Structure 1
Amino acid sequence: MPTIEQRAYQLKVKDMRSKWKGSQELREKLAASGGEETSEDREPILDGFAPDYDLRLFREAQALAAIKIEEELGDIHTDKGTRFVVMGKYMMEVWYQSPYPGDACRVPRLFVCEYCLNHHTSATGAHRHRAKCVWRHPPGDEVYRKDNLSVWQVDGRKHKQYCQQLCLLAKFFLDHKTLYYDVEPFLFYVMTCADEEGCHVVGYFSKEKNSFLNYNVSCILTLPPYQRQGYGRLLIDFSYLLTKVEGKVGSPETPLSDLGLISYRSYWKEALLRRLCSAPGPTLCIRDLSKDLAIASSDIVSTLQERGLMKYWKGKHIVLKKQEVLEEVSRRCERARCVEASCLRWSPPAAPAPPR
């Protein structure tokens, strides 16, 4: 119920409006001119159309809205296309352009829901959506959980719209990303970090359901706010964990982005040198090493050659154990974050039946 002061103020405004008769002279003048007149500052002449109270209230709201819009757009360049993506509490500057439909590809600042990934062109629309959105984690099955870190398997055929929105978001940060709408042949593994509000998307990788070239990753991305924190390595480690469970040997689909290539080379180097530190005996077979780590032989050989750990001597390839390199890797491995196979709740999808 309104208070006594509020009720008195309401009656006062109502009385002011009831006494207002309008400006007959202004209405006749506009009717004769056939249009609306404007003042020197190009504002329509509003005197005489509403009570002074309503007119003052409108102009105050108009001024506050103009100040707010100016503050929101003050740090945005005037170039065409999206410059920033607002997702949850983060505002990320985009690296490339993404073909969002309609006006979404032309607004300077795009708002994306961090749970369902629906996009909005204004802060007001995003705020209203956030109040109504019931999602708190990606769709699909949770196949991995350790502490507050989870990985969700999302089928591109069952959750087509979510996967399409995920691909469009990834295009802002991947130059070689060309797939946006044909998501049905892929599985998406979305990594999230949970708190009291919900599961926030950290990154993801996609994988073909049936890859004839044994690609275990088609596209991989860690969102900018979570980069350089070890999440990219966790995504790569998780992809190879799935490959091990499948009993296969895998490799990422090329071409990789610049950051993706750096992350993969770092992961291969640490995994190989950790295995070399624990390898018994004087001999080592690349084929056995590939089977143990689920890494393709070509990736193993290229990594060893890049680090100067493989030499061709007397008709044989020899892997060298350099003490300083092994000590460096042992120190890094102590700080590296790895996925635990015991936390995985996943089984390989059944292969499709051959045609008759």
Structure 2
Amino acid sequence: MNCESAASLTVGCRLQVRIRQSNDWQMAEIVSIRKMGDKRKFYVHYEDCNKRLDEWVTEENLNLRDVQRLPCVDQTSESQEKIMLTTPKKCGRRKHRKHVKKEENSSKTTSNECDPQEGMITNSRQKKNETLVKNVEMIELGRYRIKPWYFSPYPKELCQMDCIYLCEFCLKYCKSRFCLGRHLSKCTLKHPPGNEIYRKDTISFFEIDGRKDKVYVQNLCLLSKLFLDHKLIDFAVDPFLFYVMTEFDSRGFHIVGYFSKEKISDQDYNLACVLTLPPYQRKGYGKLLIEFSYELSRCEGKTGSPEKPLSDLGLLSYRSYWTQAILEILINPNPGPNGDRPSTAINDISEITAIHSGDVIYTLKSLNLVKYFKGKHIICLNHDTIEQHRSAMKKRKIRIDSSCLRWTPKDWAK
């Protein structure tokens, strides 16, 4: 339907919106509305696009010719339907009262959420939408200024600032550069807390116990939520270990990324959450974090798998890592004691790489390397796959050196 002016638009409306980066028109949903003087700005989510592209747009970027509004619930027919539902033919008196009370509460919820004059769902939907809107404009972490991708529950008074300033060593957040300067004069940390368990060249890994360094870990979760859509903020961090990767220079150990894992996992998850900060992406650090998690699993004598669901970038990194790790075993196997070619069964690949057998099978099938021949499933490599693997491995310059790891697994069940 045509819309005369943007003043009649409400939260939940769907329409064509011009993306500022590309000037392309895309169907989007209005998630939030705010007034800027006499004008209104609209926070929109583009359909079939990642939420990191969500943005505030002005009226000039909206196509008002075809606006789709949320349907209004007919409360009269709905209440009549509820009366029929709450009068069952055979129902005990006590059960009947409980059933009616439940339906009355449900009816109250519906009446609060529907505004018949506006023809849209309000209140609870708007509260939910608050967490869908990016609330932090900018953060400053060390020498980088980074534009966040998603919502993170930083204090509201800080979110009203143009930029949130973070100490890159303890991750404490400040409202101004002056406050950050005062903090830095007192902060004694030059690296993440915890134990340094790996160092090679300028790369180090620190193991941090969520129970011992709770404040640092909570600040780390707030920071990572800015760039991970699927991460749930839960400050009950005691059951987790955090492995923070850093780059070293004369000023200290600067955080690059991290991954977390449960101390005790019934499903043998070796990673719960993984993040490479935007300034360090596309440099091979994501695969390095994943490789390190499997190196720890290998030391534990286990195979591991990441906890699902993964973020979109995390899933891409894992698929790429699994492909390279498995093909490396198939193309360049270590010869047996008699110089013969070793077995390449699924369990053998899983044991060597520490990748869970289910992930090995998934990767081989996605690469279309499993063939059925003479009643058996065999792994069949082609020339193109081999050449693509060798080209990818040439670009992968940084790897984990197991000889540089100083770590002993603990039995957390005790």
Asked if Structure 1 and Structure 2 have the same fold, meaning a TM-score greater than 0.5 normalized by the shorter chain, the answer is yes
2:204 and 2:278 mapped to 1: Cα distance? 19
Pick one of 203, 210, 213 that aligns with 1:159: 213
Q: Which residue of 2 aligns with 1:243?
A: 297
Q: Which residue of 2 aligns with 1:309?
A: 369
Alignment TM-score, normalising by the size of structure 1: 0.75
1:270 and 1:317 mapped to 2: Cα distance? 21
Pick one of 174, 183, 187 that aligns with 1:129: 183
Q: Secondary structure at the match of 1:151?
A: strand
| Relative contact order, higher structure (CA 8 A, sep 6+) | 1
Deviations 1:196-235 (A, max 9, x none): 0000000000010000000000000000000000111110
1:327 and 1:301 mapped to 2: Cα distance? 21
Alignment of 1:188-337 (within 5 A): 188-279=242-333, 281=341, 284-336=344-396, 337=398
Deviations 1:273-311 (A, max 9, x none): 111012364852101110111001111111111111112
Q: Give the counterpart letter for 2:349 in structure 1.
A: L
Q: Return the offset for 1:91.
A: 0.6
1:83 and 1:303 mapped to 2: Cα distance? 39
Coordinate RMSD, CA, aligned: 1.9
Q: Is the 8 A contact 2:134 2:150 kept in 1?
A: no
Q: Which residue of 2 aligns with 1:83?
A: 137
1:103 and 1:313 mapped to 2: Cα distance? 65
Deviations 1:245-288 (A, max 9, x none): 00000000000000000000000000011110123648521011
Q: Measured at CA, do residues 80 and 190 of structure 1 come closer, stay the same or move farther in structure 2, by a change above 3 Å?
A: closer
2:342 and 2:303 mapped to 1: Cα distance? 25
User: Which one has a larger percent helix, Structure 1 or Structure 2?
Assistant: 1
Pick one of 186, 207, 212 that aligns with 2:240: 186
Q: Which residue of 1 aligns with 2:408?
A: 347
Q: Is the 8 A contact 2:137 2:159 kept in 1?
A: no
Q: Return the offset for 1:102.
A: 4.6
Q: Secondary structure at the match of 1:132?
A: coil
1:153 and 1:266 mapped to 2: Cα distance? 25
Q: Which residue of 1 aligns with 2:399?
A: 338
Q: Which residue of 1 aligns with 2:74?
A: none
Q: Which residue of 2 aligns with 1:101?
A: 155
User: Which one has a larger percent strand, Structure 1 or Structure 2?
Assistant: 2
Q: Return the offset for 1:191.
A: 0.3
Alignment TM-score, normalising by the size of structure 2: 0.64
Q: Give the counterpart letter for 1:151 in structure 2.
A: F
Q: Measured at CA, do residues 282 and 200 of structure 1 come closer, stay the same or move farther in structure 2, by a change above 3 Å?
A: closer
Deviations 1:114-156 (A, max 9, x none): 0010001122211221232211000000000001110000000
Unaligned runs of 5+ residues in structure 1 are: 1-75
1:340 and 1:112 mapped to 2: Cα distance? 31
Deviations 1:55-113 (A, max 9, x none): xxxxxxxxxxxxxxxxxxxxx98997212111011011100010123523443321111
Q: Which residue of 2 aligns with 1:146?
A: 200
Q: Give the counterpart letter for 2:411 in structure 1.
A: A
2:151 and 2:198 mapped to 1: Cα distance? 32
Q: Percent of aligned positions with the same letter in both sequences?
A: 49
